[in-house]
């Protein structure tokens, strides 16, 4: 059976997105909750990979970094593109569409 996506939100993602995902039954961590505020981008990618989580970010520095090191998947969108509710909706659709195994080293633009 495919593994459902678990998410890790870096500090650039509004905490309301993680809260909204949780209210819908999604397992998600945030940088603040796991003691990673001000951690490097490399550390966030490594944490997410080691914990089997897709990294959710609005930091375009990750796009370059995702080409340079293995990761469990990366979801990116520009900060001004979607409101919180729309970002949550799109992440839920992504979770239905992909299993964790299919997200390995994949970058998805919301």
Q: Domain residues of the chain, as ranges?
A: 7-109
What is the spatial distance between Cα 105 and Cα 70, in angstroms, rounded to a whole number? Answer: 6
pLDDT of the residue at 1? 63
- Residues 6 or more apart whose CB falls under 8 angstroms from that of 4 comprise 27, 95, 99, 100
Specify the pTM. Answer: 0.94
Question: Given phi > 0 = left and psi -120 to 50 = alpha, else beta, which region is 30?
Answer: beta
What is the spatial distance between Cα 107 and Cα 76, in angstroms, rounded to a whole number? Answer: 7
Could you read off the pLDDT of 41-73 as tens digits, one per residue? 999 999 999 999 999 999 999 999 999 999 999
pLDDT of the residue at 101? 92
């Amino acid at each position: 059976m495919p593994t459902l996506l678990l998410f890790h939100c870096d500090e650039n993602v509004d905490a309301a997105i993680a809260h909204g995902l949780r209210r819908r039954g999604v397992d998600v961590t945030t940088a603040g909750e796991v003691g990673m505020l001000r951690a490097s981008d490399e550390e966030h990618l490594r944490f997410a990979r080691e914990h089997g989580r897709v990294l959710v970010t609005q930091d375009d520095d990750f796009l370059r970094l995702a080409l340079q090191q293995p990761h469990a998947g990366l979801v990116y969108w520009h900060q001004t593109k979607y409101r919180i509710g729309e970002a949550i909706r799109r992440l839920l659709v992504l979770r239905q569409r992909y299993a964790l195994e299919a997200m390995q080293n994949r970058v998805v633009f919301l």
